[in-house]
Amino acid sequence: MNRISKTELLIWVVALELFGAVSALAGGNFSGYYETLKTPPLSPPSWLFPIMWGIIYALLGASAYLVFKVSGKADKTTKSIFALQLAVNFMWNIIFFRFHSLVIAAAVLIVLTVLVGIMLLDFYRKDKLAGLMNIIYLLWCSFACYLNIGIVILN
């Protein structure tokens, strides 16, 4: 087990925050399109989404740092799951916001939620705190599935 480096931890967190920012930019005009949609009950205001994703990406960066650098237990499977969930996460923004493909976006979001669950369990086996840090990510993706499917039904 390696010692925690505040600098390396910060680099991982900032890198994941930048990933989130690029993902949002690739998706296009979030609030403009989202505001035109009929949304299901419990839909949060659009200003809450960037706050939640900021928290999620910070936790994801910190948890990845713990698994990849501190615990030293990341194997090829861990790296693949992590990369795959990031790729699917990135695709969802583009499919939903740029292409307005609501049904495909819902399917992608279901896949993302499953991948996040798998990643969470894998991280937990390697570093309990790292796994626990991704519970919010899994819950938010599950809630996003509800929202996306509700949007499909209502629109």
Which CATH number is 78's domain given?
A: 1.20.1260.100
Residue 76 has pLDDT above 70, yes or no: yes
| Count of domains forming the chain | 1
In a domain? residue 53: yes
- Residue 3 pLDDT: 86
- Residue 30 pLDDT: 67
What is the residue range of 114's domain? Answer: 6-154
Would you say 25 and 97 are in contact if contact means Cβ atoms under 8 Å apart?
A: no
Q: CA 71 to CA 22: how far, in whole Å? A: 28
Residue 34 has pLDDT above 70, yes or no: yes
pTM for the model = 0.94
Which is nearest to 36 in space by CA: 95, 107, 104, 100?
Answer: 100
In a domain? residue 97: yes
Task: Read off the pLDDT of each residue in 92-115 and give the average, rounded to a whole number.
Answer: 97
In a domain? residue 45: yes
pLDDT band at 29 (very low <50, low <70, confident <90, very high): confident
Q: CA 82 to CA 106: how far, in whole Å? A: 20
What stretches of the chain show up as alpha helix (H) in DSSP?
6-27, 30-34, 48-65, 76-93, 102-126, 128-132, 135-154
In a domain? residue 1: no
- Percent over 90 (pLDDT), the chain: 86
In a domain? residue 88: yes
In a domain? residue 75: yes
Would you say 111 and 86 are in contact if contact means Cβ atoms under 8 Å apart?
A: no
Task: Read off the pLDDT of each residue in 14-24 and give the average, rounded to a whole number.
Answer: 96
Q: What's the chain's average pLDDT?
A: 95
Residue 59 neighbours by CB distance under 10 Å = 19
